[in-house]
Structure 1
């Protein structure tokens, strides 16, 4: 029996990305959409081939595999009764008389705790604001009151507890930001890592 692990991983990542793009409804907004440049949300629909191509890279793949390893470790440690992994939640939000569905896939829920796993090449300046915001949105989405943001870096494993959910007003403002396409970019560093930067009229760097 012969096989190539790289090809298996490639097919898995591309198929996952394809399913997410195809299944996403017009009024659905993922939590990750709320965190970054609103133009990226538009470009994912407009330039699907780029979205698929950017789904496979050694860095993102390594992070995904580390996620899976820690998730499995937590299940084996605490048991499947206490630990749920890759849990999907959704919540309806009305903005200016229009209905939007905010959807999120949470890495791990241990008891009443939301656990978000991040991998990073450096532990400088952590926790990053958009990661904290992501956990806060997950708390809003689930109704749980305690989040644990975990960083796996070459230097250390760092943990940060977050206990303030995002408010309804914050979520509405973020959705309005996506609708308006402003601010673009949301963070000054985004363009350096954006797959759509070569097509974007708002590229800053």
Structure 2
């Protein structure tokens, strides 16, 4: 039966992928590629068949296929999937692929589809009770924390659409299927947000970085890179932005939230210090006021012993609790009692732990 289930999963993966294969003209770069490590794009040209294999990606493919099928039924010839968005900036040939595109009289609408594991909300989220959260959340006030690179990609797509359709109104949306976390509980929803276009200066800066800075754009990028996993790239340390940049509205909200939670945690901890008079069990661990043993070592005498026993100094350069037992064992094997030799003092102290 093991072989049967493995074959079924293989077929499911093939169906999820379907015929979804994006094509680019020679040397063209996709909009999403501009937002990630340039080395990844270069390696993809050499190894086009090397792809990430995960259920999350397959679920995303299935979600896209169903969404596109519905729009095709609703709009017929006015609908186009994977619309190519051509543009050349700073000598770089760009070909974006917009998941769904609808052309209407006087207006064009672009919709970029995303399928994510989990999404958080800000304190301004209008629903405090999970049961009140609708199936479709229209995030007009930006109260859902959507990934910045998703927003950037959609904003770049709108920039190109405005170039392609200068005489029409252009609307660009992110449509995200996600697990929304509200007050510690979760609910699967669709999040819809209209996205503004990036400026031409911002687009040019993204292209410049792609040409000149061969490094990851995000701290997590190498961890999820199939080319690094395959040994085709050693991975490059993420250094972040060299120059200070203004905080985004989302970052400001998160910092305010962090500050509030930190203050609340201090207050709660203070109340617990008064409420717990001794040790207590909580989730399998001991919390509250506990008596702990502290060891204070005489550093001068310690180094004399280390020299005398020819112990590797780097092992005990920073003598902390992780090395106490190891060091004491080495001493006792050499016939030295650390307490009798005055190498340490042991004191017991009550401490509050959570």
Residues of 1 paired with 2:190 and 2:17: CA distance?
A: 26
Structure that is richer in helix per residue: 1
Greater length-normalized contact order (CA 8 Å, ≥ 6 residues apart): 1
Residues of 2 paired with 1:4 and 1:121: CA distance?
A: 24
The alignment's TM-score, normalised by the length of structure 2, stands at 0.47
Residues of 2 paired with 1:12 and 1:161: CA distance?
A: 28
Residues of 1 paired with 2:59 and 2:236: CA distance?
A: 30
Deviation at 1:64, TM superposition (A): 0.8
Counterpart mapping for 1:159-198 below 5 A: 159-162=192-195, 164-182=196-214, 184-198=215-229
Kept in 2, the 8 Å contact 1:119–1:153? The answer is: yes
Residues of 2 paired with 1:38 and 1:12: CA distance?
A: 27
Partner of 1:72: 69
Partner of 1:104: 96
Counterpart mapping for 1:117-128 below 5 A: 117-124=113-120, 126-128=145-147
Residues of 2 paired with 1:71 and 1:11: CA distance?
A: 16
Report the RMSD for the aligned CA atoms in angstroms: 2.8
Counterpart mapping for 1:25-174 below 5 A: 25-26=26-27, 28-46=28-46, 48=47, 51-76=48-73, 78-93=74-89, 95=90, 99-110=91-102, 111=104, 112-124=108-120, 126-143=145-162, 145-154=170-179, 155=187, 156-162=189-195, 164-174=196-206
Kept in 2, the 8 Å contact 1:89–1:104? The answer is: yes
The alignment's TM-score, normalised by the length of structure 1, stands at 0.78
Residues of 1 paired with 2:18 and 2:111: CA distance?
A: 25
Partner of 2:234: 200
Deviation at 1:126, TM superposition (A): 3.0
Aligned pair in 2 of structure 1 residues 161, 12: CA closer, same or farther (>3 Å)? closer
Bigger Cα Rg:
2
Consecutive unaligned residues of structure 1, counting only runs of 5 or more, are none
Partner of 1:10: 14
* Matched position secondary structure for 2:84: strand
Residues of 1 paired with 2:155 and 2:19: CA distance?
A: 29
Residues of 1 paired with 2:81 and 2:53: CA distance?
A: 22
Deviation at 1:131, TM superposition (A): 0.4
Residues of 1 paired with 2:15 and 2:115: CA distance?
A: 22
Consecutive unaligned residues of structure 2, counting only runs of 5 or more, are 1-6, 121-143, 163-168, 180-186, 239-354
* Matched position secondary structure for 1:80: helix
Residues of 1 paired with 2:116 and 2:70: CA distance?
A: 19
Residues of 2 paired with 1:194 and 1:188: CA distance?
A: 12
Deviation at 1:5, TM superposition (A): 7.8
Partner of 2:298: none
Kept in 2, the 8 Å contact 1:14–1:56? The answer is: no
Kept in 2, the 8 Å contact 1:89–1:105? The answer is: yes
Residues of 1 paired with 2:19 and 2:64: CA distance?
A: 18
How many residues in Structure 1 have an aligned counterpart in Structure 2? 188
